[in-house]
Amino acid sequence: MSYQYWSPELETMSRSDLEALQLARLREAVGWALRTTFYRERLAGVGIRESGDIASLADLRRIPYTTKQDLREGFPYGFLSVPREDVVRLHASSGTTGTPTTIYFSRDDIRRWTDNVARCIYGTGCNRSDVFQNMISYGLFTGGLGFHAGGEEVGMLVIPSGSGNTTRQFRLMRDFGTTVVHATPSFLLHVESRMKEEGVSRESIKLRKAFAGAEPYSEDTRRRIEELLKIDVYNSYGLSEMNGPGVAFECQAKDGLHLWEDRYIGEIINPDTLEPVAEGETGELVLTCLCREATPLLRYRTRDLSGFYTGPCACGRTHRRLRRITGRTDDMLIINGVNVFPSQIEEVVMAMKEVGNNYLIVIEKEGVLDRLTVKVEVGTNIFMDDTRPLNALRDKIRSTIQASITINPRVELHEGGSLPVSEGKAKRVMDNRPRDV
Ligand code: ADP
Ligand code: ZN
């Protein structure tokens, strides 16, 4: 395979050159940060008063972590480090886990972010001949405008379709010959389920690629989308605190997500001890943004769980690769004392061919115990009135989940298309247990 690079020099630069660039940019980012009261006080506490106090990359570890809570406390302008007049845009996180947080961009910040997204898109083999339908919500959420700008930068024809409304999405695909889409993996599965109902044949659309992100999904889910829609799916990772999309992305080797280390410094820490984990181990991803002057963030705790692959990538890029993000530290469910990540259940159900494209995890209190129910849509190859195969499937799902998480769930089978779908990030867990007071 021949790989194409958007910025060949930056993407394939030697590790020592990359580290020298990181150090220069870290100093610059510390300089930006020192313009805010928050960082001036935080950094003074560890003896950093000017950017020159960062002598080497190892000095990064002197800097205290910044948390989502810090960002919330600084709302609305606490982290703004340029005059208000120099800000040309703001974005906010979607607030999956609480109050939203706001990020400000200067004109240069937007330019750098756009370049990051263009680098990701181009690295999957897209070019000016592509028609790109951005099936994700526009607005405060960064996925819409971020991918939109990156797509235009590459020179593709960008259709700002937004999310939802599959009928209109199919019409746009057919009318304009869409070749690439961007969506959440759950919306892509929904699109696939709707195709037959809306009478859309695979031959009538030219789709060949999708960027899927904004929420965790398993390798089996990727494979499922690729096989059902007959397209190539690339994992896209980002968060509004780090601009949005364009932080880490899969290349055509599809073997981990390159973290763009000229623009971000990544660390993996143990979320309990806050110490770095051993090379290659899983932990919480901590990111330092080297490319945003208007809202600098140093050693930001993302709460996302991942780890670095060690070793070079077949594509020739030198930027380290993150493993598929399996979820957040705060996604973890404790069910009868057992720690369970929703992704463990997804891995089981999405690997089964008899299972349809949607599922839901429900936890309730039954007496003193927690009760886990997994609701699963069945595939189109299974008939709801044929009890024998249904019972067998139910047993198979139950025993495979139990083997994976040690908890014996109740399994409910539902007809395809009957479980709730969300147009943005999927809500797959309903924890109905009363909260402790
Ligand atoms: P919110 O924190 O409110 O969801 P964002 O819209 O900024 O706000 O979402 C960023 C978060 O989405 C990330 O921190 C991560 O948890 C999740 N996410 C984004 N892309 C991926 C991906 N490819 N795989 C797994 N999780 C992802
Ligand atoms: Zn690669």
Percent of the chain at pLDDT above 90?
A: 89
Nearest protein CA to atom 13 of ligand 1, as residue? 239
Q: Write out the residue limits of the CATH 3.40.50.12780 domain(s) in the chain.
A: 1-331
Q: How far is the CA of 320 from the centre of ligand 2 (A)?
A: 9
pLDDT the model gives residue 94: 61
Q: How far is the CA of 215 from the centre of ligand 1 (A)?
A: 5
Sign of the CA dihedral with 142 first, then 148, 149, and 150 last: positive
The number of the ligand nearest the C-alpha atom of 94 reads 1
Atom of ligand 1 nearest to the CA of 94: 3
Decide if pLDDT at 74 tops 60. Answer: yes
Q: Write out the residue limits of the CATH 3.30.300.30 domain(s) in the chain.
A: 332-431
Residue 162, CB-side half-sphere exposure with 13 Å CA sphere: 8
Residue 217's φ and ψ, nearest 5 degrees, are -155, 155
Question: How is the beta sheet containing 300-306 ordered, strand by strand?
Answer: 264-269, 283-289, 300-306, 327-328
At residue 100 the predicted structure's pLDDT band, cuts being 50, 70 and 90, is: confident
The number of the ligand nearest the C-alpha atom of 325 reads 1
Complete DSSP assignment for 33-60: HTTSHHHHHHHHTTT--SGGG--SGGGG
Q: Helix, strand or coil for residue 221?
A: helix
pLDDT digits (tens, 9 = 90+) for 379-420: 988 888 889 999 999 999 999 999 999 999 999 999 998 999
Q: Which fold does the domain 332-431 belong to in CATH?
A: GMP Synthetase; Chain A, domain 3 (3.30.300)
Decide if pLDDT at 99 tops 80. Answer: no
Any atom of ligand 1 within 6 Å of the Cβ of 215: yes
pLDDT the model gives residue 98: 66
Atom of ligand 1 nearest to the CA of 257: 23
Q: Which fold does the domain 1-331 belong to in CATH?
A: Rossmann fold (3.40.50)
Q: Residue 418: how many CB atoms within 10 A of its CB?
A: 12
Pocket test for ligand 1, best of 222, 304, 332 (most atoms within 8 A of CB): 304
Decide if pLDDT at 97 tops 70. Answer: no
CA distance 401 to 389: 18
Percent of the chain at pLDDT above 70?
A: 98
Atom of ligand 1 nearest to the CA of 141: 6
Q: Which residues contact 95 (CB under 8 A, 6 or more apart)?
A: none
Pocket test for ligand 1, best of 71, 117, 136, 215 (most atoms within 8 A of CB): 215
Q: How far is the CA of 239 from the centre of ligand 1 (A)?
A: 5
CA distance 48 to 30: 9
Any atom of ligand 1 within 6 Å of the Cβ of 343: no
Q: Which residues contact 374 (CB under 8 A, 6 or more apart)?
A: 345, 349, 359, 360, 361, 362, 397, 401, 409, 410, 411, 412
Atom of ligand 1 nearest to the CA of 212: 23
Any atom of ligand 1 within 6 Å of the Cβ of 306: no
pLDDT the model gives residue 330: 86
Decide if pLDDT at 37 tops 50. Answer: yes
Q: Mean pLDDT over all residues of the chain?
A: 95
Say if residues 243 and 103 touch (Cβ distance below 8 Å). yes
213 sits in which H/E element: strand 209-213
Decide if pLDDT at 223 tops 50. Answer: yes
Decide if pLDDT at 437 tops 70. Answer: no
Query: What is the average pLDDT across 275-303?
Result: 97
Complete DSSP assignment for 264-314: EEEEEE-TTT-SBPPTT--EEEEEEESS-SSS--SSEEEEEEE-EEPS--T
Query: What is the average pLDDT across 209-231?
Result: 97
Nearest to 284 by CA among 333, 237, 236, 326: 326
Any atom of ligand 1 within 6 Å of the Cβ of 331: no
Which letter does DSSP use for residue 434 in this model? P
pLDDT the model gives residue 29: 98
Any atom of ligand 1 within 6 Å of the Cβ of 98: no
Atom of ligand 1 nearest to the CA of 302: 14
Decide if pLDDT at 248 tops 80. Answer: yes
Q: How far is the CA of 113 from the centre of ligand 2 (A)?
A: 20
Complete DSSP assignment for 355-393: EEEEEEEEEEEETTEEEEEEEEEEPTTS-TT-HHHHHHH
pTM, two decimal places: 0.93
pLDDT digits (tens, 9 = 90+) for 166-207: 999 999 999 999 999 999 999 999 999 999 889 999 999 999
pLDDT digits (tens, 9 = 90+) for 423-434: 888 899 999 999
pLDDT digits (tens, 9 = 90+) for 350-369: 999 999 999 999 999 999 89
Nearest protein CA to atom 24 of ligand 1, as residue? 216
pLDDT digits (tens, 9 = 90+) for 325-347: 999 998 899 999 999 999 999 99
